[in-house]
Each structure stands twice: as structure tokens, then as C-alpha cells.
Amino acid sequence: MPETVVRDDALDVGQAFRDSRVEEVLEALDRDLVGLTGVKTRIREIAAFLLVDRLRRQMGLEADRPVLHMSFTGGPGTGKTTVALRMAQILHRLGYIRRDHLVVATRDDLVGQYVGHTAPKTKEVLKKAMGGLLFIDEAYYLYRRENERDYGQESIEILLQVMENQREDLVVILAGYKDRMDGFFGSNPGLRSRVAHHLDFADFTLEELMRIAQTMLEQQR
Amino acid sequence: MHITQGTFSYLPPLSDEQVRAQVQYMIDNGWAVAIEFTDDPHPRNTYWTMWGLPMFDVRDAAAVMLEIEECRAGNRGCYVKVNGFDPSPLRQGQVLSFIVHRPTVDEKGYRMTRAETGGQVIGYALNPYAADQPAGKRYARNGG
């Protein structure tokens, strides 16, 4: 008899997808955010990838935990923080982070003002974000090329260490302008190799801006 | 001698997984989590050295586990405990406390000394053998 028997434990990807309730978040993303087609597609791809990865693990297939650190690039006001919030929900529902929470930090929160001040400050923020998502806005300010004694470098090193050693506990998103982020990654190759997903937020077109304006007007009456 | 103290003194030492679950319970209750260490195991020694500041705004036990790990690594020859402080107006006190690390070398016990005072009254004192050595050398390898 040929082996055509459907095994009881066969994978049902569709069912797993419905169980994870990720679809709600993705739909909300589509509904609430105007434009950003590229970003939305990319997020769907990431969600699908993570879902398959999780199923693989459930089946006992050897799989390293995928690197989830991301970089969001785009002008101000293109929805990076909003998408990061949704990303926290998606990762939480798929079980990649334990808590559905997002901590937003900038250079001020991470870098100290005198010798020995930076490490505790950075660690404080990292500890606060653990279990969830850390969103570093305008990350390129961490590294100042013109000043080699700048404390930002120390902050980056601590960040790298945690990003590498505690992947289960923390997912980091670095955000900022596209060209400046490219320069930032260029001068910090260690950081570049630890960021798996690069999402580029395109500027809104005139038509999209009109739609946003209309939505805002409707809300404000 | 296996020295016990605090909330789970009647249980065998907690595993890291159990510690993590307890810490998460403290965080979920909104308690501040603090780590302290000492090499003076006298039961009346309430002033252990603080390992950093209490953690008020962490959301996940992973952050506390990180600190516990660092405290252990830096103080192999010490007892390390985790405290939970409930800041709510009615309680405002420490509500949970347990040991998460013990000296890796032999834990020494206590010496009881009697002191006869007036009128044939006998007073008792309890001294940890560890306290015979100066602080910092009490649980060091090779007898310090």
C-alpha cells in the first residue's frame, strides 16, 4: 500500500495562523495606516516566516531562534513608532517576546554625561525593555564619528552584547533617517550583522497625505 | 550546614526556573525587586549589602535574572537573596524574600556560647563560624 495516509499530527499552517490571532493585528495595520504598502508586505512576510519557524520548532526540527532585531528607516512622521507598536503585538502573539510592551529610547536615555555614567544608564533602559521590544529612535546619534571619546560607543557595545546574548529576552528596533542609518551601520559593522530585517518607510504621496488629512478632519469634526 | 532563611526556608534551594517564576510574580504584583548579598549569615543580620538599586520599573524577570547572575559571579563566596517590596499604601514593606545563592565552598554552621551572668542566669549567644574570619575571606577557597 502506498504511503498516502494523512498523519494525525500533520501540520495545518492555516489553522496555526488562525490560532495565533496575528491576522487581527495585520488587518488593523492595513486599516489604520494609509499607504506604506512596502512596509505592510514586509511585515506580512516576517509574520509568515516566524509562524513557519515556530511550527518547525513544534515539530521538533532543529532551528536556531531567528534574529529579530530590525531597522526602521524613513523620514519623521512616516509611522515608524506606530508600526513598532504593532510589531510588538505580532511578536507577542507569535510567542517571540513574552510581553506586549514597547520602550522608546533616544540617545539621551542611553548615553551618560561623564565617565562611568553610560553603562548603568544603558543597562537601566535595557532592563526596563526586557521581555519586550526596545525602540531606539534616531539611533545614529549614538555614534559620533567626529569625537572618538564620545560615550555613545560604550552604549553601542553594551547594546550589542545584550542583542547577541539575550535574544530570547529582548528585540531591538533601530530607527532613523535612511541615509544617516546607512552611515551608522557602515561605521558599526557589528551592529549591521545583528540586524536581520531592514524596513524602509517611504514618504507619503500627495494622495495619501490627502487621505490622512481627511481621516484627521473626520476625527476632529 | 545548609543555612535557610526567608519565605521558602522550608523548601530545598530553588532552581533558576523557579526563581524566575517567583520574580515574575513579584513584578506582576507591582513590587520592587531588590538583590542583596552578605557573607555574615547570622539570622539577626538584617542589613545585607545592596546589589545596585532596587528595580522599580522592570517588566520582565529576565532583567532581574541578569542582575542575579552578575551578583553571583561577583560574590561567589556570599549569600545572595532577592527581596520583594510592596509599595502599596497599606503595606509598604518587604513581603517576600528568599536566598538564591549560597557560598560554593562548605557552608559553616553556628557556635553557641553560654555566658553565666548574675544569679545563675545563663545567656546564650549564636556566632556563625564564618564570622571568625574577616569579612570578604569567610567563604573563600583554601580557607581564605
pLDDT per residue of chain A (221 residues) written in tens, 0 to 9: 455 555 556 667 777 777 778 888 888 888 888 888 888 898 889 888 888 888 888 888 777 788 889 999 998 888 888 899 988 988 898 888 888 889 999 999 999 888 889 999 999 999 999 999 999 999 988 888 788 788 888 899 999 999 888 888 899 999 999 999 998 888 888 888 888 888 899 888 899 889 889 888 988 87
**Secondary structure (3-state) at A124:** helix
Give per-residue pLDDT as tens, B13-61.
Answer: 999 999 999 999 999 999 999 999 998 888 888 899 999 899 998 999 9
pLDDT at position B97 is 95
A168 contacts on B by Cβ (under 8 Å) = 62
Residues 6 or more apart whose Cβ sits within 8 Å of residue A200: A38, A39, A73, A74, A178
Alpha helices per DSSP H over B12-77: 16-28, 61-74
- CB-nearest to B59 from A101, A166, A168 is A101
* B75 CB neighbour count, 10 Å cutoff: 19
Question: Positive or negative CA dihedral for A42, A48, A51, A52?
Answer: negative
Interface test with A, best of B60, B65, B70, B71 (most A CBs within 10 A): B60
Give the residues across from B114 on adjacent strands: B124
CB pairs under 8 A between A and B: 36
ipTM above 0.95, yes or no: no
Beta-bridge mates of residue A201: A74
B89, pLDDT greater than 50: yes
CB contact under 8 Å between B59 and A168, yes or no, is no
Tell me the per-residue pLDDT of B117-139, one tens digit each, with 9 for 90 and over: 888 899 999 999 888 888 888 88
Cα distance between residue A158 and residue A121, in whole Å? 11
Whole-number CA gyration radius for chain A: 20
- Residue A45's contacts (CB-CB under 8 Å, 6 or more residues apart) are none
Q: Which residues contact B138 (CB under 8 A, 6 or more apart)?
A: B39, B40, B77, B103, B130, B131, B144
**Quick check: B55 and B71 in contact, CB under 8 A?**
no
User: What's the order of all strands across the beta sheet hosting B93-101?
Assistant: B49-50, B32-38, B79-86, B93-101
pLDDT at B144: 37
Averaged confidence pLDDT in chain B: 89
> Any idea which architecture B16-106 has in CATH?
2-Layer Sandwich (3.30)
pLDDT of residue B142: 45
Q: Do B62 and A168 touch (CB under 8 A)?
A: yes
Question: Which grid coordinates are listed for A96?
Answer: 517571540
Q: Which of A128, A132, A169 lies closest to B57 in CB terms? A: A128
Domain boundaries, chain B: 16-106
For residue A125, give the chain B residue with the closest CA. Answer: B58
Q: What's the CA gap between A34 and A164, in Å, rounded?
A: 35
Q: Which residues of A touch B55 (CB under 8 A)?
A: 127
Q: Do B60 and A126 touch (CB under 8 A)?
A: no
